[in-house]
Amino acid sequence: MTEGLDLDFDGAEDLLRVWRNGMRPDPDLTVSEWADAHRWLSSRAAAEPGRYRTARAPYLREIMDALSPRHPAQRITFMKAAQVGATEAGNNWIGFVIHHAPGPMLAVLPTVEMAKRTSRGRLDPLISESPALRERVNPARSRDAGNSMLSKEFPGGILVLTGANSPTGLRSMPARYIFLDEVDAYPASADEEGDPVTLAEARTTTFSHRRKVFMVSTPTIRGISRIEREFEASDQRRYFVPCPHCGAMQWLQFERLRWEKGRPDTAAYHCEGCEKPIAEHHKTGMLEKGEWRATAVPADPHSIGFHLSALYSPLGWKSWAQIARDWLAAQGSEEMLRAARNTLLGETWVESGDAPEWQRLAERREAYGGVQIPAGGLFLTAGVDVQKDRIEVDVWAWGRGLESWLVDHIVIAGGPDDPACWDKLTALLGRTWTCANGAVMVIGKLAIDTGYEAPAVYAWARKQGFEQVAPIKGLEGFNRATPVSGPTFVDATIGGRRLRRGARLWSVATATFKTETYRFLRLERPSDEDRALGVLDAPGTVHLPDWIDTEWLKQLVAEQLVTVRNKRGYAHPEWQKMRERNEALDSRVYARAAAWIMGADRWDEATWRRLEAQAGVETRPPVTPTAVEGVAMEPATPTPAKAGTTTTPRRKRRAYTPNFMRD
């Protein structure tokens, strides 16, 4: 074909070589074959650097191959335990798309910040360590919009990374390929614009049957888990492996992992066919001979799903003995058991939404020994519920591990239309409560609901400043990753004048904190004998004073978590009232949200020690507020210490005076 061409010039051979390479068709590879041929693992991002080998985790082969263009599946769901190689399978797919099937691709992480970390920690090594990708994707440059941290251009396509909390990123472009990683950690709504998964999938509409959506996650809570819902709508594939003794094919279940009492190192899997124990060294051969089998009929024939527990983890990753040890370590803690079920078994946790009996709570009321704040309380928050004819305030003390004590319940008569009512609430911001050692505390953060008469609440909050006051808005649904989001500025109108910047409003997933509160209320207390031996209350224990009445206790347990089905038939949990009044529960949730806003869930050891030191040794007298009729105030005499302050007051800056104004 080169006859008659004048090739007597510099670069002719290079030109011919490029032309021949362009005319040669790409090999017909699957994603797993591509990974074995081209993928190299970097020591920066992998525990086992070097050439990628699908044989190391054979169960990933069919999952990756379902992502290949010639496979008919359009939606691939992978519900799995932690660290079984799922993210690397997704990265292999990204590499395959860049090299062999270019097109627009969207990768969605729970947050934009996680997307940036993924880009630096996983995608950059993926590209730099694989020559086939390095020659197609230029290094990220700050001045190159096409190749930045969150955008990678390559011949024939582009990869965009974004967070599920960014509606702009989810609407950024049409996409043929979508990789949704850790979907159960996504917020319930992308900045109140809708479900992030739905927004992302809408990007694939124009690609019809050629689209691919890969959804991966460790599951969370039964009924609210996105990945469980998608898996149950699929053909529900399980990885069947043969018994080395009798050859019976079976998928591994945790109930058949057994060990001698107190000796997790003896853990062995017992075959469901012959009941013989299977030692872990057989696992490699079992995984090699394993196969995926569908166990259900999907509603959509183009939707397939895979489930995998940590029992399948290859040798050198997560051993059966380590799984047994982790399971034993989780006993006695509902939170640790939930994490173990999610991360080890790859299964959802069933929340117990049953309300504790108010009579049981009444029996457990305590006398605080004449003090307002018991020794463990290190800072105060308040939850405020605004009603038509009154404002109810509950003040809670918080300690390490979110142990809490109700220290005051205040009802301010008058309602939001009465200015005196707001004056009394203002006075509470300066009131002090006494600790066991004589120190005093003021409310660190007061969270007030904006559901009733929001303009009045905004006006009062703006007047007080937002250092101590947090207006909040309750949202439906669960969000364990970020139960409180914000703040956002809310426009408001006062006297007909439009404000440039409104109140700072926090959004709270109330269902998350209600579930947590009920879990804390169900915690068992140590017996007198255990206390004599030094056993302490469990983290999260809720202490209620003996002066609280039964009506308040009934309000605290006035709701129950029930499972309801929507129009599409999907089940989801929902909190519903069992009695009309529930102010105590709402105020508790608001006070808990205030603790989250202060940062109690994220404080380091130094912060907790500083709070303990403040409660024990500081001698700064408190500021005495002006008394307001109807609200009890502390005496004006100096008290030994002021505690519960999480930050050191800033030094006042000296005002700058221009030269021409100076004397």
Q: Which residue has the higher pLDDT, 219 or 191?
A: 219
Q: State the residue range of the domain holding 67.
A: 27-242+256-345
Q: Which residue has the tokens 């005196």?
A: 420
Q: Are residues 232 and 184 in the same domain?
A: yes
Q: Give the whole-number percent of the chain exceeding pLDDT 90.
A: 38
Task: Specify the long-range contacts of residues 617-620, CB closer than 8 Å, at least 24 apart.
Answer: 617/641, 618/439, 618/642, 618/643
d(CA 450, CA 384): 10
pLDDT in tens, 105-147: 999 999 899 999 988 888 888 888 888 898 888 776 645 556 7
pLDDT for the residue numbered 161: 92
Q: Nearest CA to 546 among 360, 363, 364, 366?
A: 366
Spatial neighbors of 632 by CB under 8 A, at least 6 apart, are 431
Per residue in 369-399, pLDDT (tens digit) is 777 888 889 999 999 999 888 899 999 999 9
Choose the weakest-confidence range: 257-271, 277-291, 306-320, 407-421. 407-421
- To the nearest 10 degrees (0 to 180), the angle between helices 320-330 and 334-343 is 160
Question: What ranges in 579-624 are assigned the alpha helix state H?
Answer: 583-598, 605-616
Percent over 70 (pLDDT), the chain: 82
- Given a cut of 50, whether residue 655 has pLDDT beyond it is no
Q: Give the residue with greater pLDDT, 23 vs 629.
A: 23
Query: Quick one: 324 and 382 in the same domain?
Result: no
Query: pLDDT for 504-519, tens place per residue?
Result: 888 888 888 998 898 8
Residue 172 confidence (pLDDT) above 90: no
Residue range 421-432: mean pLDDT, rounded: 91
pLDDT of amino acid 619: 30
Note the helical H segments in 280-387: 283-288, 320-330, 334-343, 358-363
130 and 161, same domain (yes or no): yes
Distance CA 309, CA 78 (A): 11
Average pLDDT of the residues in 467-492: 78
Q: How many domains does the chain have?
A: 2
In this predicted structure, what is the pLDDT of residue 359? Answer: 86
Q: Which whole number is the average pLDDT over 64-71?
A: 93
CB 225 within 8 A of CB 184: yes
CA atoms 641, 647, 651, 652: torsion sign: negative
Whether 647 maps to a domain, the answer reads no
Q: What is the CATH number of the domain that holds 33?
A: 3.40.50.300
Chosen domain end from 593, 615, 637: 615
Q: Is residue 631 part of a domain?
A: no
Please tell me the least confidently modeled range out of 43-52, 211-220, 400-409. Answer: 43-52
Residue 82, phi then psi, degrees to nearest 5: -75, 145
Evaluate whether residue 51 is within a structural domain: yes
Longest dimension (CA), the chain: 107
Using alpha carbons only, what angle is made at residue 636 by residues 632 and 637, rounded to the nearest 5 degrees?
Answer: 130
What's the rounded Cα separation, in Å, for the pair 141 and 131?
19
User: Has residue 649 been placed in a domain?
Assistant: no
Distance, in Å, from the CA atom of 294 to the CA atom of 439, rounded to the nearest integer, reads 65
Closest by alpha carbon to 586, among 391, 461, 449, 480?
449
**Of 199-203, 237-241, 589-593, minimum mean pLDDT range:** 199-203
224 in any annotated domain:
yes
| Alpha-carbon distance values, 303 to 75, 206, 236, 457 (Å) | 5, 18, 10, 48
Are 339 and 467 within one domain? Answer: no
Q: Is residue 658 part of a domain?
A: no
Q: Backbone dihedral region of 328: left (phi > 0), alpha (psi from -120 to 50 degrees) or beta?
A: alpha
| Pairing, β 439-441 against β 641-643 | parallel
Q: Are both 409 and 274 inside the same structural domain?
A: no
- Indicate the average pLDDT of the chain: 82
Q: Is residue 77 part of a domain?
A: yes
Residue 213 has what pLDDT? 95
Do 415 and 340 share a structural domain?
Answer: no
pLDDT of residue 11: 66
Tell me: do 136 and 234 sit in the same domain. yes
Choose between 240 and 626: higher pLDDT.
240
Helix axes 31-38, 86-100, angle to 10 degrees: 90
Q: Are residues 605 and 539 in the same domain?
A: yes
Domain boundary among 292, 319, 345: 345
Global pTM value: 0.62
Residue listed under structure tokens 């299977």: 278
The CA–CA distances, whole Å, from 612 to 281, 376, 641, 645 equal 51, 9, 12, 10
From the list 522, 541, 521, the residue with the least C-alpha distance to 531 is 541
Band (pLDDT 50/70/90 cuts) for residue 660 is: very low
Cα distance between residue 516 and residue 210, in whole Å: 43
pLDDT-derived band at 595 (thresholds 50, 70, 90) equals very high
Same domain as 503, residue 536: yes
Q: Are residues 518 and 414 in the same domain?
A: yes
DSSP string, 35-53: HHHH-EE-TTT-SS-EE--
pLDDT band for 578, please (50, 70, 90 cuts).
confident
Last residue of a domain, one of 279, 312, 345: 345
Q: Do 415 and 519 have their domain in common?
A: yes
pLDDT > 50? residue 656: no
What is the predicted pLDDT for the residue at 631? 39
CATH number (domain holding residue 587): 3.30.420.240
389 located within any domain: yes
Q: How far apart are the first and last CA of the chain?
A: 91
Question: Which burial class, exposed, middle or buried, applies to 14 when counting CB atoms under 10 A from its CB (0-12, 13-18, 19+)?
Answer: exposed
Q: Decide if 55 contacts 33 (C-beta within 8 A).
A: no
Are 122 and 181 within one domain? yes
- Pairing outcome for strands 40-41 and 404-413: unpaired
